Amino acid sequence: MVAAIVQDLDVGNLLDALTQAGHRATRISSTGGFLRRGNSTVLIAVEARQVDEVIRIIKATCRQRVELLSQVSPALISLGPVESPPPVEVPVGGATIFVWEVEQFLY
Ligand code: 2BA
């Protein structure tokens, strides 16, 4: 089982490339624990010999981007005008990939 957490901007191209290469995939909408922004988790069950190819496809279709993270909490803003520090740049992606063995696979 390959699970890839990818940015929503990349998931369409990833699903296209996987299906064109003959793989089956499931997209689950997910949320990153750090930024609390939406991302996508794609599950791809393949034979062990196909894992490298799937990882190549993920790397070819998902790229790194920079997200801006505001350092002022909404709670502080609600107290009145505050001088906000500049947002912090956070690199995200291309993809966070997990691979594990599947014990049973039933239709
Ligand atoms: P987020 O948790 O929203 O993290 C977004 C980006 O923020 C991360 O990008 C990383 O650059 C940074 N980041 C995360 N935790 C941090 C921390 N404690 N301190 C400083 N910077 C931090 P990526 O590493 O590319 O991760 C993208 C998304 O992949 C994550 O979104 C999360 O949904 C998932 N992910 C990453 N590592 C994971 C892990 N070990 N287990 C489960 N999910 C993971």
User: Which ligand 1 atom minimizes the distance to the CA of 39?
Assistant: 33
Helix (H, G, I), strand (E, B) or coil at 50: helix
* Model pLDDT for residues 15-70, shown as the tens digit of each residue: 999 999 999 999 999 999 999 999 999 999 999 999 999 999 999 999 999 999 98
Residue 32 Cα to ligand 1 midpoint, Å, equals 6
CB 6 within 8 A of CB 39: yes
Name the residue with tokens 């998902």: 62
Q: Where are the alpha helices (DSSP H) in 3-99?
A: 8-20, 51-61, 74-77
Distance CA 96, CA 4 (A): 6
pTM: 0.91
**61-85 mean pLDDT:** 83
Ligand 1 mutation target, pool 92, 97, 98, most atoms within 8 A of CB: 92
pLDDT value for 85: 83
pLDDT at 72 over 90: no
Residue 15 Cα to ligand 1 midpoint, Å, equals 22
